């Protein structure tokens, strides 16, 4: 088996565990981006073809031209409390991010935050979960 395939299987198992835990804690969730293709796409009225990931970078929705989403090792989750249609605010993701980290994952709520400030700041991608 390849390391990537092994990591994808591990990641899928971890996401399943997180989703079960979220439900037990009284949360509902929806998927945002999971896999992102790097295939070039035809853009109307444009002479250059771009991948979805490149367009995200161009539009300042991502900082990477290739990342964990491209390897099927990341998912963005839109989470809200059961009975509410309002998505959680960044700070409300903290217990979920801490749970994800306890499972061995990396949480986007840490992106751009120094370790000494983990308890007081949330990074720029709180709904992002990766291996």
Give the count of domains, the chain: 2
Q: Which domain holds residue 96?
A: 1-30+72-131
Q: Which two tokens stand for residue 100?
A: 């994800």
Radius of gyration for the alpha carbons in the chain, expressed in angstroms and rounded = 16
Do 124 and 87 belong to one domain? yes
Give the per-residue pLDDT at 8: 97
Alpha-carbon distance of 35 to 3, in angstroms, equals: 18
Q: Which residue do the tokens 């306890």 mark?
A: 102
**Which pLDDT score is estimated for 63?**
82
Q: Does residue 91 sit in the same domain as residue 120? A: yes
Mean pLDDT for back-to-back runs of 10 residues, the chain (131 residues): 94 98 97 88 79 82 85 96 93 97 97 94 95 97
pTM over 0.85: yes
- Number of H helices and E strands in the chain, helices first, is 3, 6
Tell whether 125 and 95 lie within a shared domain.
yes
Contact, 29 vs 120, CB < 8 A?
A: no
Residues 121 and 93 reside in one and the same domain? yes
Torsion angle in degrees (nearest 10) through CA of 113, 120, 24, 105: 20
* Same domain for 23 and 40: no
CA dist 88 to 6, 47, 78, Å? 32, 40, 8
Whether 7 and 15 have beta carbons less than 8 Å apart is answered as no
- Do both 23 and 53 map to the same domain? no
Which residues sit opposite 75 in a β-bridge? Answer: 129
């Amino acid at each position: 088996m390849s390391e990537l395939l092994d990591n994808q299987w591990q990641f899928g198992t971890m996401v399943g565990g997180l989703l079960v835990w979220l439900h037990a804690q009284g949360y509902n969730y929806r998927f945002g981006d999971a896999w992102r293709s790097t295939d070039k796409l035809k853009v109307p009225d444009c002479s250059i073809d771009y991948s979805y990931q490149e367009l995200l970078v161009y539009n300042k929705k991502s900082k990477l031209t290739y990342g964990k989403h491209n390897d099927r090792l990341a998912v963005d989750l839109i989470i809200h409390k059961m009975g509410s249609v309002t998505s959680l605010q960044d700070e409300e993701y903290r217990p979920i991010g801490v749970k994800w980290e306890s499972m061995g994952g990396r949480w986007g709520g840490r992106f751009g935050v120094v370790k000494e400030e983990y308890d007081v700041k949330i990074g720029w991608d709180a709904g992002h979960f990766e291996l």
